[in-house]
Amino acid sequence: MRKHLVVALAYDRLCTFEFGCTVELFALDRPELEVDWYAFAVCAVEAGPIRAAGGITVQAPYAPELLEQADTIVIPGWRDADETPPEPLLAMIRAAHQRGARLCSICSGVFVLAAAGVLDGQRATTHWRYADKLAQRYPRIAVEPDQLYVDNGQVITAAGSAAGLDMLLHVVRRDYGARIGNLVAQRLVVAPHREGGQAQFLPRPMAHDERGRLSRLMDWLRAHPAQPHTIKSMAEQAAMSPRTLQRQFQEATGLGPVEWLIHERLAIAKDLLEAPGIPLALVAERAGFGSEESLRHHFRRLAATTPGAYRRQFANTV
């Protein structure tokens, strides 16, 4: 079987950071992972020269026809949210979508997917600066401006530039499981998964002392997932009132503290399930779910699968 082919688009006035994130995630050899890693290529969607941000020029080795073979296509930010992408590019995006290719956009790259019509009736996100424009121009898209990324299955959209890393790591986790995603994140020296959304990055006043307390609380909860936690006990640990804790969590992550903790426990459970030989009851205990029934319930609710199915797909048998 051939490798999963990831193709990044290149065009004049290329967004260098988003493009670089895509290259970093998919183009590097990763023999230490001991998995069949992606094949990667860069495709020029228009005639050169391809000028990129920062004064550099990019020479892409492949023509647009390569998109016909791509399993995943990444649009690393479109050059101008007010410029309609050329129709030949939109036609290729529609054709790729129709044959089942996965489509990913970073930041303003969502405007290419929107113009192609592949986001009609679906949820999407983009940089908070572009969210209103996207919603007004494409009313058939359910724009979620607070999200770091939105995964619709075949189409995945990311918010501002750095959120592209969050989305691309999510793609790796989806394809190879949490253990491999964590290893790639370690090599990048970034968090394997950032909770919450763009709301925490909007330009508004922030109580720095409370933000510090919240951050310390999150670290402490991650280190002690198996302990019983309530709103009251978490508020006491953070030296906040329960009301302040609720508000700070909602502003920082888009989730209440209890739901955030459940997401963290689920991530821990996924890591444990990828290690062979750990009984399901022990996974539930260490992750803080308490019982197998609770673990299964939240797995179905948040991961749309079961712990057993996840283990069969992603358990490390090496």
At residue 191, the pLDDT reads 67
pLDDT in tens, 53-80: 888 888 888 888 899 999 999 999 899 9
Q: What distance in Å separates the CA atoms of residue 12 and residue 29, rounded to the nearest whole number?
A: 27
Does the pLDDT of residue 291 top 70, yes or no? yes
User: Look-up: residue for tokens 């290259």?
Assistant: 23
Band of pLDDT at residue 192, cut at 50, 70 and 90:
low
User: Look-up: residue for tokens 């501002």?
Assistant: 160
Q: What distance in Å separates the CA atoms of residue 70 and residue 3, rounded to the nearest whole number?
A: 10
Least trusted range by pLDDT, from 61-70, 178-187, 219-228, 266-275 = 178-187
Domains of the chain: 5-188 (3.40.50.880), 205-318 (1.10.10.60)
- Name residue 299's beta-bridge partners: none
Band of pLDDT at residue 296, cut at 50, 70 and 90:
very high
| Mean of the per-residue pLDDT values of the chain | 87
pLDDT in tens, 128-154: 889 999 999 999 999 988 788 898 889
- 100: exposed, middle or buried (Cβ count in 10 Å: 0-12, 13-18, 19+): exposed
State what percent of residues in the chain have pLDDT above 90.
Answer: 51
Q: Helix 231-238 crosses helix 242-253 at what angle (to 10 degrees)?
A: 90
Per-residue pLDDT, averaged over 38-45, amounts to 93
Does the pLDDT of residue 197 top 60, yes or no? no
Band of pLDDT at residue 202, cut at 50, 70 and 90:
very low
Does the pLDDT of residue 210 top 70, yes or no? no
Q: What share of the chain is helix, strand, coil (3-state, %, to 5)?
A: 50, 15, 35
